[in-house]
Structure 1
Amino acid sequence: MINERSDMLANENIKKLIYRMSTPAIVGLLVQAFYNLVDTIFVGRGLGADSSLGIAGISVAFPVQMLMMGISMGLGIGGASIISRALGMGDRKKAEKALGNMVILVIISSVIFTILGLVFIDPVLKVFGASESILPFAREYTKYILMGTIFFAFSAALSNTIRAEGHAKFAMSIMLISSIVNIILDPLFIFEFNMGIMGAAVATVISQIVGCVLVLHYYTSNISLIPFRLADMVPDLALSWETVSIGMSEFIFNSVESLVFILLNQSLLVYGGDMAIAVFGIIIKVFMLTLMPIIGIKHGIQPIFGFNYGAGNLERVRETVSISNYIVFGMCILSVIVVFLIPEQIFRVFSTDAGLIDVGVPAIKISFLMMPFIGTQVVAMALLQSLGKSKGSLMITLSRQIFFLPPLVFILPLYMGLTGIWVSFPISDFLGFVVAVILMKKEVSKLVVSVPQGES
């Protein structure tokens, strides 16, 4: 089984390999994104006159979930990068120790995050833009989501290492099954049990527990190439630091995104009120849905990058970069076409509020203008993370999220009002694309002469 998966990563046609590795991730992520949409849809349909406040509450809670995602995905990507390169070099012992150390990091960070989140829940939500009318809805949703942090982080992080072994279909099944559970439980808890926004949160946590159980099954059975041993959970400072440093760009990406939400939500309150926050909540959920296929490609190509870089097959790395860029560009173009053709219908899925739709239709069109350039940024981050080039991937994250978007969100509304906030997104997307292209080309040019060597 080990030789079979190694041979697949080392020798299979790149187009077929990207398809094989990415398709399960795309399916799972799409379903996962859909169940995040379902929370918003059912809350919007189930709270009657309070639907806009419920949607706004979930929107304000979203940065907390992004921080959870940042921790789990950062550790998962860091661990997966080490594991895939170690397997490429035939060093199974290092792969096993990397897994054990990653699990310890996930457990510790999840416990700390949950405790701090519950203690400071109200101040945090207010900072993220919860007005007095939104706060009760945001609090009710967030406190239950926080209780499920460890289950979410465990399954999300270890899904990356499962893919690093070349077992993309099992990783897909984890996302697929947990998402279906959430989709089934949402209407049951919200409508049948009359639990409102709390029901949406509880359904989400239960689905995360299901995902956690599936991950444990994978690593306690004979499916995994890397046996899970308690002895490997003894902290190794070098491996732990490598895991954290490689995944740091992913963590910072989500963390900075959360910080940007502070500026965004506060600006939205000033220039558009609670309605603007609800509109933004819908736009970000639609954006995440359209981004999931791109992230699926990222999940699929990272093991290809890492394994072949570790094995010295540099031409396969270059070919994967080229083909994946064409694929993600086509996906992004398709997303823009759909958004521009049916923007009103998209908003009507969430709410029948005419005011919300009137504000939302032009906002979503403007926000998606530069979507075609986002795919390249994702491929560039995947390449740099997989090769252990943490500084480069971090720079891609910081360029859009720190250097470009916040100043634009602060300056443009002074001259354009609420429209200025929406315009900030496509401008920062394009500028981030320019930075990603420069860094990616620089790294690809080295592949003809470089040898596998990570960068701290």
Structure 2
Amino acid sequence: MQHTELLGQDNIGNLIVKLATPAIIGLVVQALYNLVDTIFVGRGLGEQSVLGIAGISVAFPVQMLMMAIALGVGIGGASIVSRSLGKDNRKHAEKTVGNMASMVTVTSLIFTVLALLFLKPMLSLFGASETVMPFAAEYTYYIVLGTVFFTFSATMSNAIRAEGNTRYAMMLLLIASITNIILDPIFIFILGMGIKGAAIATVISQIVGTLMVFYYYATGKATVPFSFNTLWPDTAIIQESSYIGLSEFMFNLVESLLFLLFNQSILFYGGDLAIAVFGIVIKVFMLTLMPIIGLKQAIQPIFGYNYGASNFARVRETITLSAYMATGLCFLSMVIVFLIPEQIIGIFSHDPALIEMGVPAIKICYLMMPFIGAQVVATALLQSLGKSRASLLLILSRQLIFLPPLILILPLYFGLMGIWISFPISDFMGFLVAVLLMKREAMTMEN
């Protein structure tokens, strides 16, 4: 039985586990190699560890912009691919894969040129102080040079996943991530390259991921093959893909721009030390969120295929099961963070001041973690069904409507603590919006 046939016939619970497991493994390892950069820099710079960690933290919004490109194109194109397969329109799926490749390449090249031209002003906006700037600029310069490789491999892994082959998508992430984890200590410690070595190791790992994408399509492993004649832009596909992927693009774009607000506020109320703490919290949060994102990537082709085949009962069953799974995974991560916060912060640095500030910060930020699961499932559903406007509303409700006012107002009364408190409050409010939107879509399918 082909991957696509399983999407419409296999038991939903088994199918979610089967598709989610490789996605989760790959994403967790991918998040680990981002963590490894921070850990090795924190351990390798000695007394300058806080400045190195802060430098990577300031660079993170730039990486979010790169991710915005990859996921904007990848999620939008993947939704078309899975629905086309559900309708047995394989030619349209093939054309979409080719357009995904050309769209992400052109967009990434434009981003690379602009980012290099305005590198230091951009990093300054994202919160790099004079002491942190040398570390942030050196790291970000090499990361930006690898934009095309990062975005291309991330985008095309969504195309591979859309045809149901999550195992290869996992292997792509796994091998690229392991490459980075191996190269980091070699470049940082053995070759003495410091923070620059961490960035170069990351770029090399992204090149490995890109080569694996080419291998997948060149050796005929793909259910939806890639050919050069599908690279020529198709206006209808670009418009639909952009429309569907807009919510994911906006999520990462807004997230990146919000770092401007976060980092500037954190720098004002807590200085470079607080910037480093925030960077650690975000990296840990991203790691614990990866199982939920893996679940999201698994259920998207299930939603898209069965919706395309008008099998709404399977769509509703997937909503229910995945919501329970996502909430359970989020609750587990919250428990772990509350049990060993000092040990988690201590992995990155033994600096006493960093640990003292980091422990309460990470516990507060995780207070409403269990409520994030439903938001992820709702976003996956809306994107897979092509409901870009609703998914955009869900994403912006938390990121643009709830969080920024809290970041601006609460610190006036609670100082730095007010910034940490803003995150769980916005998480809960976003949860309420997600539940309402999911119920509305479920009722629409019943009618």
Query: What TM-score do the two structures reach when normalised by structure 1?
Result: 0.97
Offset of residue 4 of structure 1: 2.5
Residue identity opposite 1:261 in structure 2: F
Once the two structures are TM-superposed, the CA of residue 96 in structure 1 deviates from its matched residue by 0.9
Q: Which residue of 1 aligns with 2:242?
A: 244
Q: Is 2:263 the counterpart of 1:282?
A: no
2: CA distance, partners of 1:88 / 1:135: 50
Q: Which stretch shows the higher mean deviation, 5-14 or 187-196? A: 5-14
Q: Which amino acid aligns with 2:269?
A: Y
Letter in 2 for 1:175: L
Residue aligning to 2:434: 436
Deviation at 1:447, TM superposition (A): 1.2
Counterpart amino acid of residue 42 in structure 1: F
Aligned to 1:173: 171
Give the counterpart of 1:43 among 34, 41, 44: 41
Matches within 5 A, 1:419-434: 419-434=417-432
Alignment partner, residue 222 of structure 2: 224
3-state SS of paired residue (2:80) = helix
The aligned runs of 1:101-116 (5 Å cut-off) are 101-116=99-114
| Number of residue-to-residue matches in the alignment | 447
Residue pairs, 1:404-419, within 5 angstroms: 404-419=402-417
Give the letter aligned to residue 222 of structure 1.
Answer: G
Aligned-pair distance for 1:440?
A: 1.1
Letter in 1 for 2:406: L
> Could you tell me how far apart the structure 2 residues matched to 1:210 and 1:139 are?
24
- 1:261 to partner: Cα distance: 0.5
- Of 345, 366, 369, the match for 1:347: 345
CA distance in 1, matches of 2:309, 2:216: 26
Q: Classify the secondary structure of the residue corresponding to 1:291.
A: helix
Which of 1, 4, 12 is the aligned partner of 2:2?
A: 4
Q: Any gaps of 5 or more consecutive residues in structure 1?
A: 450-456
Aligned to 1:261: 259
Q: Could you tell me how far 1:236 is from its partner in structure 2?
A: 0.9
Q: What is the match of residue 307 of structure 2?
A: 309
Q: 2:383 aligns with which of 381, 385, 401?
A: 385
Counterpart secondary structure, 1:272: helix
Any idea what the Cα deviations from partners look like across 1:45-102, whole Å, max 9, x if unmatched?
A: 0001100000000000000001101110110010000000000000011101111111
C-alpha distance in structure 2 between counterparts of 1:424 and 1:265, whole Å: 14
Match of 2:32 in 1: 34
Q: Counterpart of 1:124?
A: 122
Gaps of 5+ in 2: none
Deviation at 1:137, TM superposition (A): 0.3
Q: Distance in 1 between the 2:102 and 2:16 partners?
A: 31
Task: After superposition, give the CA deviation of every residue in 1:308-331 in whole Å (9 maximum; x if it has no partner).
Answer: 011111100000000000001100
Matched with 1:368 is 366
Partner residue, 1:207: 205
Task: Find 2:76's aligned residue among 68, 73, 78.
Answer: 78
Q: CA-atom RMSD, angstroms?
A: 0.7
User: What is the DSSP-based 3-state SS (H/G/I as helix, E as strand, rest coil) of the residue aligned with 1:132?
Assistant: coil
Q: Which amino acid aligns with 2:247?
A: S
Distance in 2 (alpha carbons) for counterparts of 1:225 and 1:52? 48
Amino acid at match of 1:34: L
Q: Which 4+ runs in 1 deviate beyond 4 A?
A: none
Q: In the TM superposition, what is the alpha-carbon distance from 1:441 to its structure 2 partner?
A: 0.8
